[in-house]
């Protein structure tokens, strides 16, 4: 039986089908954990909500916009520490956060009037910004505030502004992935096609599912520019609201994170006939293949090849230096969604790491299928894990490092497992040739940092334990 039962979860028998061990010769389809379902009551999930997926993942990276949540102020939490989608306009979208600040009285009497005042006040406070995204939250959706009507009233009174409304309250479920879907569809339905594109070149793409975490988009944009490609819009990292209204003018959608943004690509194909090309900016070989594919589409493979050769010659020796030192180190690869399959095989092939476990918080079964196919035999695959399960897994697997988010990362540190931030990165960008070397350097530093050796010290005793089965100093 491929399912893995956690000791800590025997009291929640439904959890059993959410974890599998990749056994030798096992039929992958029968071993696939369940996924993209509502979280089981009693299992304290670490997922985000549908509002978070819409706003904090996809909406907020848009740089020239006031992002206002209609709800309690706590819903706007998620700032520099957890989200690092930087921009070239001095990080306007990260520096400020806006909420209508609903209180109990608004739940009783409604908050539409207050919302209208808040929208006008926000535009007045930042007169140079003429665009806004407005997000429904659980609180305002439950009482039925009509935020579309409020937004329309403001636009009628202030013709110079444009407001995008996103109806993805947290309870819409089942996780942030539901929110990705909702905002993708809302954007194409309400905004794409409302501005005509400015075409300046022969090869025009939208770069989709790319959120410019610590500059990922900038590094990829540079390759496209060197190939003579015009990036009409980026959905949505460092992206501009009005550029994204003109997405219908591109010749090709180049899709990076298929988990969060395949929906808009599929719609752009149906509505405007623009093809979708999935690429991967992580790792030398996947990136080379991606640049070649884009080059092939436009008949400019030679330009792609030139970049691949230049960049590989510049960065490969550094990558190999790290590979030698990371060979055979055990990794738990525990991101939110698509990084599980973007990374699983390539960290093994290009950095020598062995993936002993994969998990995804909100990925669909197809994400898990790709992830399991690409990780090592014997690996433990978990869907929507909770904290107790991940601690149990770490104690059992004794990884040298885990790649995950801040919350599970802090727990890992307490049991002396080094953690690297797979979401916001430590010292990114991680995309591109240079980025991939930065990733290797961060992994190396995390594993070999003397701090982890020191953390094994029990100062109540007179001994210095050196190796307890986790990181070993070289
Ligand atoms: Fe796509 Fe993302 Fe990811 Fe994602 Fe995310 Fe993210 Fe992630 Mo955090 S869009 S699925 S909802 S690659 S925020 S930039 S790092 S969990 S693996």
- Say which DSSP state 28 is in: T
pLDDT at 1: 44
Instruction: Give, using CA atoms, the residue closest to atom 15 of ligand 1.
Output: 423
Does ligand 1 come within 6 angstroms of the Cβ of 57?
yes
pTM score of the predicted model: 0.94
Residue 464 has pLDDT above 70, yes or no: no
Residue 468 has pLDDT above 60, yes or no: no
Residue that wins the pLDDT comparison between 473 and 251? 251
Task: Label residue 465 by pLDDT band (50, 70, 90).
Answer: low
Does ligand 1 come within 6 angstroms of the Cβ of 412?
no
Ligand 1 binding pocket mutation candidate from 78, 343, 423, 425 (most atoms within 8 A of CB): 423
Distance CA 136, CA 115 (A): 11
DSSP string, 191-241: TTTSS-----SSSEEEEEEE--BTTHHHHHHHHHHHTT-EEEEEEETT--H
Instruction: Give, using CA atoms, the residue closest to atom 1 of ligand 1.
Output: 257
Does ligand 1 come within 6 angstroms of the Cβ of 338?
yes
pLDDT digits (tens, 9 = 90+) for 117-154: 999 999 999 999 999 999 999 999 999 999 999 999 99
Does ligand 1 come within 6 angstroms of the Cβ of 371?
no
Distance 338 CA to ligand 1 centre (A): 7
pLDDT at 460: 77
pLDDT digits (tens, 9 = 90+) for 335-355: 999 999 999 999 999 999 999
Does ligand 1 come within 6 angstroms of the Cβ of 259?
yes
pLDDT digits (tens, 9 = 90+) for 141-150: 999 999 999 9
Nearest ligand 1 atom to the CA of 339 is 17
Does ligand 1 come within 6 angstroms of the Cβ of 421?
no
Ligand 1 binding pocket mutation candidate from 50, 208, 339 (most atoms within 8 A of CB): 339
Distance CA 123, CA 163 (A): 11
* Tokens, residue 99: 């909420």
Distance CA 179, CA 171 (A): 10
Helix extents (H) in 99-215: 104-109, 112-125, 138-142, 147-157, 176-190
pLDDT at 81: 66
Distance CA 42, CA 47 (A): 14
Distance 226 CA to ligand 1 centre (A): 27
Nearest ligand 1 atom to the CA of 423 is 15
Task: Label residue 292 by pLDDT band (50, 70, 90).
Answer: very high
pLDDT digits (tens, 9 = 90+) for 358-392: 999 999 999 999 999 999 899 999 999 999 999 99
Q: Which of 131-145, 266-280, 439-453, 456-470 comes out lowest in average pLDDT? A: 456-470
User: 25 — alpha (psi -120 to 50), left (phi > 0) or beta?
Assistant: left
Q: Before 236, cis peptide (omega within 30)?
A: yes
Distance 361 CA to ligand 1 centre (A): 10
Instruction: Give, using CA atoms, the residue closest to atom 9 of ligand 1.
Output: 260
Distance 259 CA to ligand 1 centre (A): 8
- Using alpha carbons, select from 413, 374, 416, 408 the residue that is nearest to residue 389: 408
Cβ-Cβ contacts under 8 Å for 432 (sequence gap 6 or more): 216, 219, 220, 222, 223, 281, 287, 311
Does ligand 1 come within 6 angstroms of the Cβ of 236?
no
Distance CA 422, CA 340 (A): 10
Ligand 1 binding pocket mutation candidate from 54, 178, 257 (most atoms within 8 A of CB): 257
Residue 267 has pLDDT above 50, yes or no: yes
From residue 77, give the alpha-carbon distance in Å to each of 47, 55, 71, 114.
15, 11, 12, 21
Does ligand 1 come within 6 angstroms of the Cβ of 429?
no
Residue 162 has pLDDT above 90, yes or no: yes
Distance 423 CA to ligand 1 centre (A): 6
Does ligand 1 come within 6 angstroms of the Cβ of 211?
yes
pLDDT at 145: 97
pLDDT at 115: 98
Distance CA 24, CA 283 (A): 27
pLDDT at 469: 46
Does ligand 1 come within 6 angstroms of the Cβ of 363?
no
Does ligand 1 come within 6 angstroms of the Cβ of 396?
no
- Using alpha carbons, select from 121, 133, 72 the residue that is nearest to residue 100: 72
pLDDT digits (tens, 9 = 90+) for 216-260: 999 999 999 999 999 999 999 999 999 999 999 999 999 999 999
* Tokens, residue 90: 């001095």
- Using alpha carbons, select from 263, 285, 289, 286 the residue that is nearest to residue 276: 263
Q: Is the CB of residue 352 less than 8 Å from the CB of residue 377?
A: no
Distance CA 280, CA 275 (A): 17
Instruction: Give, using CA atoms, the residue closest to atom 13 of ligand 1.
Output: 57
Cβ-Cβ contacts under 8 Å for 54 (sequence gap 6 or more): 135, 166, 168, 176, 179, 180, 182, 183
Residue 26 has pLDDT above 90, yes or no: no
Task: Label residue 68 by pLDDT band (50, 70, 90).
Answer: very high
Distance 93 CA to ligand 1 centre (A): 18
From residue 234, give the alpha-carbon distance in Å to each of 69, 182, 220, 255.
23, 18, 11, 10
Q: What percent of the chain has pLDDT over 90?
A: 86
Task: Label residue 471 by pLDDT band (50, 70, 90).
Answer: very low
> Any idea what the Cα angle at residue 427 is, between residues 424 and 433, rounded to 5°?
100
Nearest ligand 1 atom to the CA of 85 is 14
- Say which DSSP state 253 is in: E
Distance 143 CA to ligand 1 centre (A): 30
User: What rounded mean pLDDT belongs to the chain?
Assistant: 94
For the packed helices 432-448 and 339-351, what is the interaxial angle rounded to 10 degrees?
Answer: 80
Using a 10 angstrom Cβ sphere, with 0-12 exposed, 13-18 middle and 19 or more buried, the burial of residue 445 is middle
Q: What percent of the chain has pLDDT over 70?
A: 96
């Amino acid at each position: 039986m491929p399912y893995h039962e956690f000791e800590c979860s025997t009291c929640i028998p439904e959890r059993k089908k959410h974890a599998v061990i990749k056994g030798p010769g096992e039929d992958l389809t029968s071993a696939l954990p369940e996924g993209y379902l509502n979280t089981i009551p009693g299992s304290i999930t670490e997922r985000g909500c549908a509002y978070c997926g819409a706003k904090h993942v996809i909406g907020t990276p848009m740089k020239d916009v006031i992002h206002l949540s209609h709800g309690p102020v706590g819903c706007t939490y998620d700032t520099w520490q957890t989200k690092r989608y930087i921009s070239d306009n001095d990080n306007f979208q990260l520096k400020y956060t806006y909420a209508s600040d609903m209180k109990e009285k608004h739940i009783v009497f409604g908050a539409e009037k207050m919302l209208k005042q808040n929208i006008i006040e926000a535009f007045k406070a930042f007169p140079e910004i003429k665009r806004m995204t407005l997000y429904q939250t659980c609180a305002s959706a439950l009482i039925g505030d009509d935020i579309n009507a409020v937004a329309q009233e403001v636009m009628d009174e202030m013709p110079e502004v444009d407001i995008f409304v996103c109806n993805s309250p947290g309870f819409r479920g089942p996780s942030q992935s539901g929110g990705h879907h909702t905002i993708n569809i809302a954007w194409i339905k309400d905004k794409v096609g409302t501005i005509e594109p400015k075409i300046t070149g022969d090869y025009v793409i939208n770069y989709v599912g790319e959120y410019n975490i610590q500059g990922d988009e900038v590094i990829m944009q540079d390759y496209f520019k060197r190939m003579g490609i015009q990036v009409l819009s980026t959905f949505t990292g460092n992206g501009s609201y009005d550029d994204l209204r003109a997405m219908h003018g591109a010749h090709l959608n180049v899709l990076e994170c298929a988990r969060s943004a395949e929906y808009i690509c599929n719609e752009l194909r149906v509505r405007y006939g623009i093809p979708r090309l999935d690429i991967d900016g992580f790792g030398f070989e996947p990136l080379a293949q991606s640049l070649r594919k884009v080059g092939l589409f436009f008949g400019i493979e030679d330009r792609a090849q030139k970049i691949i050769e230049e960049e590989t010659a510049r960065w490969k020796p550094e990558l190999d230096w790290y590979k030698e030192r990371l060979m055979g180190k055990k990794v738990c690869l525990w991101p939110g969604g698509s990084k599980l399959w973007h990374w699983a095989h390539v960290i093994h092939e290009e950095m020598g790491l062995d993936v002993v476990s994969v998990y995804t918080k909100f990925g669909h079964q197809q994400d898990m299928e790709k992830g399991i196919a690409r990780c090592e035999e014997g690996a433990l695959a978990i869907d929507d894990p909770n904290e107790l399960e991940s601690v149990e897994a770490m104690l059992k697997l004794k990884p040298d490092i885990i790649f995950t988010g801040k919350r599970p990362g802090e727990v890992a540190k307490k049991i002396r497992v080094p953690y690297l931030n797979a979401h916001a990165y430590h010292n990114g960008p991680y995309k591109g040739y240079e980025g991939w070397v930065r990733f290797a350097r961060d992994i190396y530093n995390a594993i070999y940092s003397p701090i982890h050796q020191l953390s094994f010290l029990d100062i109540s005793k007179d001994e210095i334990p050196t190796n307890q089965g986790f990181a070993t100093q070289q």
